[in-house]
């Protein structure tokens, strides 16, 4: 089954304790991205990656890191989480522009609900 998976789905942590949220897709997509969703603010892009070893900042990158060492994985790293990073996080992927039939459709993972105390 074609899908984007995220782990963990739920996480409660404390300020300053480094954490990683994993994201993996099995659709051979070139493009991957991370978003956070907050009430009243909608979905905002954190980071995206056009391909392996290529990452770019989205609209709200502060406090986050990403890496893209393999095509299928795009982990989100919070080096020193703070309470304002409490949010619902989504990973997404889509086929890249170099692929035969780019559709520009992003497929989302199930979400990770993070609480930072």
Partner 1 sequence: AQKVTQAQTEISVVEKEDVTLDCVYETRDTTYYLFWYKQPPSGELVFLIRRNSFDEQNEISGRYSWNFQKSTSSFNFTITASQVVDSAVYFCALTGGDKIIFGKGTRLHILP
Residues lying near partner 1 in the complex (CB under 8 A): 31, 33, 40-43, 45, 48, 50, 56, 58, 88, 90, 92, 103-108, 110-111, 113
Q: Which is closer to partner 1, CB of 77 or CB of 107? A: 107
Q: Which is closer to partner 1, CB of 47 or CB of 81? A: 47
CB burial of 59-94 (b: ≥16 within 10 Å; e: otherwise) equals ebbeebebebeeebebbbebeebeeebbbebbbbbb
Q: CB 16 → partner 1: shortest distance, Å?
A: 27
């Amino acid at each position: 089954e074609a899908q984007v998976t995220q782990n963990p789905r739920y996480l409660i942590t404390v300020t300053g304790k480094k954490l990683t949220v994993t994201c993996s897709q099995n659709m051979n997509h070139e493009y991957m991205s991370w978003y956070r969703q907050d009430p009243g603010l909608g979905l905002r892009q954190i980071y995206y990656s056009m391909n392996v070893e290529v990452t770019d900042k989205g609209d709200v990158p502060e406090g986050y890191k990403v890496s893209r060492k393999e095509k299928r994985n795009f982990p989100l790293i919070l080096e020193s989480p703070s309470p304002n990073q409490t949010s619902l996080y989504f990973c997404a992927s889509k086929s890249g522009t170099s692929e035969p039939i780019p559709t520009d459709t992003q497929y989302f993972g199930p979400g990770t609900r993070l609480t930072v105390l």
